[in-house]
């Protein structure tokens, strides 16, 4: 067996400019050695590379009888070539790895997708590492739909003792639903996923855990392949083998597969199998230690419905002593809502007047809060408001003004939006985040811009 050398502090001895083979060493280890080991579990080598691949792609952790009887949504896909071949040569010692709680918020999901999500997690995760799956039902369907997901959720609730279901008393949105699951979680590590995904291999979780074992302040993110929303049987590879997570000019998450290089400059792309750092990540499909998640303050409770939670977590992790990585050998299929009209998508959800006012909008919000003279729908207003909140709390004046210019046509917010922004100064949830920033002695946004964003993408 070949083990990665780590220091007793848990920091990897790997030089950033060298691949793992340059830093590998042979080690003979007995069970008695492990028994007498006094160092923290993350300092022990938990993975190695063998000469031959194993059944990492085909392996499942349920019997064929059980699969045929209860796992109708579990499928085999001809997507092995999406992985770098070396991914199949990894071996893991799961006895020293932390267990995980997988948190799955669901709202008006397309029929069958939640089952695909849960079935693939149960079948392709080592039982000793899967503490539980928590499904957070965010108040069922819109009033125009009858009991969407309810029968499916009821079936999944009795599929395995590891599946737990909590029903929100009222619709509280994505970030808050994830917080419900995080507060309930018993696992050492939290894994946040969407309700329309499919784990692609039997080692997806082990690969996610390795960077966290090396550095407990890591947010470890999966590599995404796309499930066609017009034909869920069709799964194809992401836009590029390797790409960085960024934010676009609208402060919305996006991917970038080229650095901002000078003309004729040779650019080194990230490894196709080794975890690599990224400035930003998507809103789900990542793992983080539970204690680290709450050290950072969890999600801001002032974020409503959808949007902003991923940029907020990325900024607070990087500036408060953490890091974000993308893991190429942990791949997941994800259905993006692209053809919403054709599929009769139940997205975006209806937003109540009560939610709008809780978020900080005035009672007459439907005729106010325009963008360049246009009256946007409530969902788009919420997304823009969440962005303003994150920008106000975690960036600087120049970045905020640039966002205002692109979004509203002026470096200053329109009066009604500005009045809403003023409420952040006394908002108790915002004050919680500010206090966490002080406790963690977080760096400034200027530091993030120079030492993270431009270092990784510039």
Q: Among residues 338, 332, 282, which one has the least CA distance to residue 307?
A: 282
Distance between CA 277 and CA 327 in Å, rounded? 9
Q: Is 313 exposed, middle or buried (0-12, 13-18, 19+ CB in 10 A)?
A: buried
Bond preceding residue 348 cis, omega within 30 of 0 = yes
- Predicted local distance difference test score (pLDDT) of residue 139: 74
Other beta carbons within 10 Å of 116: 24
Q: Among residues 412, 355, 38, 34, which one has the least CA distance to residue 175?
A: 355
Distance between CA 276 and CA 282 in Å, rounded? 15
CA angle 377, 378, 381 (to 5 degrees): 90
- Predicted local distance difference test score (pLDDT) of residue 77: 81
Other beta carbons within 10 Å of 249: 11
- Residues near 236 by beta carbon (within 8 Å), at least 6 away in sequence: 225, 226, 228
Please say whether the beta carbons of 175 and 86 come within 8 A: no
Please say whether the beta carbons of 120 and 198 come within 8 A: yes
Residue 116 region by backbone torsions, left for phi larger than 0, else alpha for psi between -120 and 50, else beta: alpha
Q: Torsion over CA of 203, 206, 210 and 215, rounded to 10 degrees?
A: 140
Q: Among residues 51, 43, 61, which one has the least CA distance to residue 21?
A: 51
Please say whether the beta carbons of 135 and 118 come within 8 A: yes
Q: Strand, helix or coil at 39?
A: coil
- Predicted local distance difference test score (pLDDT) of residue 204: 98
Tokens of 393: 């709390």
> What are 130's strand-pairing partners?
100
Please say whether the beta carbons of 124 and 133 come within 8 A: no
Q: Max Cα separation, the chain?
A: 72
Measured in whole angstroms, how far is the alpha carbon of residue 297 from the centre of its chain?
16
Name the DSSP letter for residue 452: I
The beta strand positions in 233-350, using DSSP E, are 235-236, 244-247, 253-256, 276-277, 286-289, 323-335
Please say whether the beta carbons of 287 and 220 come within 8 A: yes
- Predicted local distance difference test score (pLDDT) of residue 19: 37
Tokens 């900080």 locate to: 360
Distance between CA 412 and CA 403 in Å, rounded? 9
Measured in whole angstroms, how far is the alpha carbon of residue 421 from the centre of its chain?
27
> What are 191's strand-pairing partners?
102, 287
* CB-facing half-sphere around the CA of 357: CA atoms within 13 A: 6
- Predicted local distance difference test score (pLDDT) of residue 404: 92
Distance between CA 242 and CA 253 in Å, rounded? 16
Distance between CA 257 and CA 66 in Å, rounded? 41
Other beta carbons within 10 Å of 75: 13
pLDDT mean by block of 10 residues, the chain; 458 residues: 34 38 35 50 75 95 94 89 93 96 92 94 98 90 55 93 94 92 98 96 98 97 84 60 81 80 61 90 96 97 90 97 97 74 62 82 78 79 91 95 91 89 92 96 97 90
User: Burial letters for 375-401: b for 16+ Cβ neighbours within 10 Å, e otherwise?
Assistant: eeebbebbbbbbbbbbbebbbeeeebe
- Residues near 120 by beta carbon (within 8 Å), at least 6 away in sequence: 73, 74, 197, 198, 199
- Predicted local distance difference test score (pLDDT) of residue 8: 34
- Predicted local distance difference test score (pLDDT) of residue 10: 38
Tokens 């005035």 locate to: 362
Distance between CA 219 and CA 301 in Å, rounded? 20
Tokens 């999406």 locate to: 82
Q: Strand, helix or coil at 385?
A: helix
Tokens 């230690």 locate to: 289
């Amino acid at each position: 067996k070949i083990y990665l050398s780590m220091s007793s502090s848990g920091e990897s001895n790997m030089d950033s400019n060298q691949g793992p083979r340059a830093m590998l060493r042979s080690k003979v280890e007995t069970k008695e050695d492990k028994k007498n080991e006094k160092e923290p579990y993350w300092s022990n080598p938990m993975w190695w590379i063998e000469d031959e691949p194993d059944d990492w792609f085909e392996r499942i952790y349920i019997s064929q009888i059980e699969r045929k009887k209860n796992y109708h949504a579990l499928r085999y896909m001809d997507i092995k070539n999406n992985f770098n071949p070396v991914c199949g040569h990894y071996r893991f010692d799961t006895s020293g790895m932390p267990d995980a709680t997988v948190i799955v918020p669901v709202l008006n999901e397309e029929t069958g997708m939640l089952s695909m999500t849960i079935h693939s997690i149960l079948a392709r995760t080592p039982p000793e590492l899967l503490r539980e799956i928590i499904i957070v039902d965010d108040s069922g369907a819109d009033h125009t739909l009858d009991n969407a997901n309810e029968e499916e959720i009821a079936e999944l609730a009795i599929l395995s003792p590891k599946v737990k279901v909590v029903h929100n008393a009222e619709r509280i949105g994505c970030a808050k639903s994830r917080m419900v699951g995080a507060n309930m979680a018993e696992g050492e590590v939290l894994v946040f996923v969407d309700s329309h995904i499919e784990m692609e291999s039997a080692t997806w979780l082990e690969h996610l855990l390795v960077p966290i074992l090396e550095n407990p302040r890591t947010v470890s993110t999966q590599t995404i392949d796309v499930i066609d929303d017009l034909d869920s049987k069709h799964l194809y590879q992401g836009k590029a083998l390797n790409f960085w997570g960024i934010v676009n000019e609208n402060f919305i998450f996006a991917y970038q597969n080229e650095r901002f290089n000078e003309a004729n400059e040779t650019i080194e792309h990230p490894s196709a199998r080794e975890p690599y750092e990224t400035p930003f990540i998507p809103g789900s499909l990542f793992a983080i230690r539970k204690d680290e998640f709450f050290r950072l303050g969890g999600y801001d409770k002032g974020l409503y419905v959808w949007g902003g939670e991923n940029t907020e977590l990325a900024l607070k992790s990087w500036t408060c002593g953490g890091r974000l990585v993308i893991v190429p050998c942990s791949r997941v299929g994800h259905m993006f809502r692209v053809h919403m009209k054709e599929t009769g998508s139940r997205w975006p959800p209806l937003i109540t007047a009560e939610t709008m006012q809780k978020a900080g909008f005035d009672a007459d919000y439907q005729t106010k809060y325009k963008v360049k003279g246009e009256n946007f729908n409530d969902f788009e207003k919420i997304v823009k408001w969440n962005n303003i909140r994150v920008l106000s709390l975690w960036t600087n004046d120049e970045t905020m003004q640039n966002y205002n210019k692109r979004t509203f046509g002026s470096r200053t917010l329109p009066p009604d939006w500005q009045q809403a922004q003023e409420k952040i100064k006394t908002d108790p949830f915002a004050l919680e985040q500010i206090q966490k920033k002080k406790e963690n002695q977080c760096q400034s946004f200027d530091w993030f811009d120079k030492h993270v964003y431009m270092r990784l993408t510039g």
